[in-house]
Amino acid sequence: LLFILKIDIFSGNMQEEPFLKMCGGRLINENIKGCCDGTPFDLLNQICCGGTILHKSKKCCDGRELDTAKYVCCKGDTIEQQVKLQPNSDECCLLKNGSFQTYNRKYSECSRSLGVAPKGSRCGALLYNKRTDLCCQGILFRNGTLQKRKCCGVKSYDTQCQECQHDRIIDLETW
């Protein structure tokens, strides 16, 4: 950062101009201009991507322009452009084997160990099917929904012969 000194001709005092710096032999105000590999650019409308000036609407991934119609920028141990699996993919999931999987964060979620799954399809650390399985505060009961079971705290109960009262399962009397 280069400080430019300005001398007030009336008082003789010197003042620093901290927002001015040199860029490729030109003096720029770094509040409104950036420096991209020695070339000034407009911070409001442009970005610097690997030494190339791009319009701000463009995306940059590891110093290269990203074609957002085809790729998602994935950041793991290395940064790479990953081909979109679906046109609406906008995020990357780093899997435990080190590979990436693209997904849409509006509809899906990522777990390094389990990969990409529809939002709300996890019970604790496990994936589950809401139509067939029952999840009670992170405890999974396979086929619980099919068996017409419901949650009672972290336990499940059979609605045909039991009820839940204050997180306690009570057997119904049969006549």
Residue 142's pLDDT is what?
94
Give the separation between CA 119 and CA 54, rounded to whole angstroms.
Answer: 35
Kindly give the confidence (pLDDT) of every residue in the chain, 175 residues in length, as a single tens digit, with 9 standing for 90 and above.
445 555 555 665 655 566 889 999 999 999 999 999 999 999 999 999 999 999 999 999 999 999 989 999 998 666 788 898 888 999 999 888 888 999 999 999 888 777 888 888 889 888 888 889 999 999 999 999 999 999 999 999 999 999 999 999 999 986 5
Residue 7's pLDDT is what?
53
Give residue 35's Cα distance to chain centre: 28
What pTM was computed for the model? 0.57
Residue 125's pLDDT is what?
82
Residue 70's pLDDT is what?
92
Name the residue ranges covered by the structural domains of the chain.
Answer: 1-57, 61-119, 123-171
- Kindly give, in sequence order, each residue whose CB lies less than 8 Å from that of residue 19, ignoring residues fewer than 6 positions away: 29, 30, 31
How is residue 61 written in tokens?
Answer: 């991934």
Residue 130's pLDDT is what?
87
Residue 14's pLDDT is what?
54
Q: What angle do CA 140, 132, 119 make, to 5 degrees?
A: 70
Q: List helix spans (H) across the chain.
A: none
Give residue 86's Cα distance to chain centre: 17
Residue 13's pLDDT is what?
60
Q: Which amino acid is at 94?
A: L
The counts of H helices and E strands in the chain are: 0, 24
Residue 2's pLDDT is what?
46
